[in-house]
Amino acid sequence: MRFLFAILSLFIAFSTSAQTKKSTSVSSSTISRPKLVVGIVVDQMRWDYLYRFNERFAADGGFKRFLNQGFTCENTLIPYLPTITACGHTCAYTGSVPAIHGIVANEWFDPQKGRKVYCAEDSSVSAVGFAAGTAGAMSPFNMKVTTVCDELRMATNFRSKTIGVAIKDRGAILPAGHAANAAYWYDGKSGNWITSTYYTNDLPKWVKDYNASKPVDKFYQKGWNTLYPINTYVQSTADDKPYEGKPLGSDQKGFPYDLKKFIGKNYGAISSTPFGNTMTREMAEAAVVNEQLGADGITDFLAVSFSSPDYIGHAFGPNSIELEDNYLRLDKELGSLFSFLDAKVGKGQYMVFLTADHAVAHVPGFMTENKLPGGRSAGSRWAKELGTILQDKFGAAGLIRNYSNHQVFLNHHIIDSMKLDEAAIKRTVIRYLNQQPEVFKVFALEEVMQAPLNKTLREMAVNGYNQKLSGDIQVMLQSNYMEGGSTGTTHSSWNPYDAHIPLLFYGWNIKHGKTNRETYMTDIAPTVAALLHIQMPSGSVGKVIEEVVK
C-alpha cells in the first residue's frame, strides 16, 4: 500500500511539474512588438522630393536614414478623390477611403444639415488651453471608423498610450483616433499648444511649461534665412517670383525673412516657416519624455504630422527656394528626432513610417513661364452662370445649392417640390461644364460606374463618393489647372503630381530594401497592423505590403 502511495505521489509531483513548466512557457512567450511606433505624415510632400533634394540631405538626416537603412515603397498612390489633408491623414491611419470613413474633405457641404461642416468640428466639446472661439472645439467624431492607433489600444486592453501632435488640429486628431490618450495642436491666435475636453479638462504641466517658454518668439527673433548660401539652391527658381504668395507679408521680398515684427503680435505666421517643424518635433519629443512613451513592454504610438511644408508649399510652390530650404531643414529635424529616439527608447526598439497626406501641383505661373500646360479655373463663376441658365430653363431659382471640392450640389427640395426633371437638370449642368476649356471630365456621381472614364479615375471617384455627404456632379480639371487666386498652388486632383506620395519604413524589424510595384495609401494601416499582430482598422480596404512585413 505504501509502495502504491509512493508511486501515486511521484506521478502527481511529475504531472504538477510538467504543468508548471508548460504554464511558465506559455506566460513567458510574448508577441514581438516594438516599444514605440512613430507615424509621421508630412503635410504636402511629393515623392520626387526624396530624389530631387537627395544630394543635399544630411548623412545623419532623416531621409537618408530611411533610404539607406529602411524600406521604401517607390510607387505609392492615393486611391481616391479629393487628394487633400483631412482625407489623407484619415486614410493613412484607417486604411479606408472617404466613401467609407466619412472624412470627404477638410470642409464639406452637408446636404442633410444644409451647411458646411469642418472635418474635426464637435460642438459637444470645448477648448482647453487658451483657444479663442471654436478653435479648440474639435474631436474625431466625424470619422466613422477606427484607426490603427485605436486597434493597438484595444489589442492591449487600453494599456498602450497613443498621442497625436501637429500644428493643424486635423493632423493630430484624425490619426490618433477615437481612443487616443491625447492630441495636441497649435493655436495661432494665442501661440499655445492646445487640446479639447474630448481628451482632458486641463493641459498637462509639461504642455503648460512648453507654452510658457514662448518658443515662437525665440524663432521669430532668429528670422528665416537659407540654411546654405542662396546661390547653391540650383534645384529652385530665382527667389521672389511674382506668382509666389506672400504669407509673411507683402513687404518681404524673399530671403532673408525678418520675423521680428511678429513677436508678441502674430503667432500664426510661424506655420509658414520651417520653425513650425522644429516646434512640432520639440512637442513630440516632450510627449515621449513626459508621457513615458516606449518606456515599458507595452507598445505605444506617437502620431506626428509636420504641417508647415503645406503652408510653405501652397504659398511658394514646389520649385521655390523656400520649399527646398524647408525640406533640407526638415531632413535635419527628422535626423534629430531619430537620434533622440535612439537615446530615449533605444536603437532598434522603435519603428517609424513616413508618408504624406497628399502631394502638390506646380504653380500655374511657373508652368506658363516654362511653356508647360496649366492655369486657373473659375468655379465660383461657373456656379453663378449655371444658376442663371437653370432658372431660365426650368423656371426655378436656387437650383445650385452649393459648389465646393469640385462637386455640384443640386437643391433636391426645390426639384422635388416643383416636380422638375432632375435628369434634365443634370444634363444641362454637365453640358455647360463640359464646354469650359479648363474642364477635363464631368459626370453625375450616381452614374460613375457608367461614365466613360479610365479605370484609375473611376476607382478614385468611387472611393471618394460618400452617398450621404457628396455632391451630385463631379468635375475633373485639365492637368495642372486649379481653382484659386493668382499666386501659389494647391492640390486635390487625381493626377500623379497630387497623388504620388512617399512611403518609408525604418527601425524595428524593418529590412533594408524597396519595391517599385504599385502600392496605395490604404495599404499603410493594414501593414502596420500586421507588423504589430493586431486587427486592421474597422473600415480598412487596403492590403498588407508583404515586402515590408517579410
* SS3 of residue 376 by DSSP: strand
How far is it, in rounded angstroms, from Cα 442 to Cα 274? 38
Contact 491, 498 (CB under 8 A): yes
For residue 357, give the C-alpha cell: 497626406
Contact 317, 488 (CB under 8 A): yes
For residue 91, give the C-alpha cell: 486614410
How far is it, in rounded angstroms, from Cα 387 to Cα 379? 12
How far is it, in rounded angstroms, from Cα 89 to Cα 358? 9
How far is it, in rounded angstroms, from Cα 378 to Cα 374? 14
Q: Residue 465's CB: how many other CB atoms inside 10 A?
A: 21
Tell which residue, 273, 252, 392, 358, has the closest CA to residue 322. Answer: 273
Q: How many CA atoms lie within 13 Å of 69's alpha carbon, on the beta-carbon side?
A: 18
Tell which residue, 485, 521, 372, 505, has the closest CA to residue 40. Answer: 505
Which residues 6+ apart lie within 8 Å of 78 measured at CB? 88, 91, 358, 460, 498, 499, 501, 520, 521
How far is it, in rounded angstroms, from Cα 545 to Cα 534? 15
Residue 469 φ then ψ, to 5°: -120, -20
Q: Report the chain's C-alpha Rg in angstroms.
A: 26
For residue 166, give the C-alpha cell: 501637429
Catalytic positions, written as ranges: 85
Q: Residue 549's CB: how many other CB atoms inside 10 A?
A: 16
Helices (H) and strands (E) counted in the chain, each on its own, are 20, 19
Question: What angle in degrees, to the nearest 10, is found between the helix axes of 321-341 and 275-290?
Answer: 10
> What is the 3 state secondary structure string of 420-441?
CCHHHHHHHHHHHHHCCCCEEE
Tell which residue, 103, 108, 47, has the closest CA to residue 76. Answer: 47
Which run of H or of E encompasses 503?
strand 503-507
Share of the chain residues as helix, strand and coil, in percent rounded to the nearest 5: 40, 20, 40
DSSP 97-114: -HHHHS--SSEEEETTTT
DSSP 122-185: -TT--EESS--TTTT-B-STT--S--HHHHHHHHTTT-S-EEEEESSHHHHHHHH-TT-SEEEE
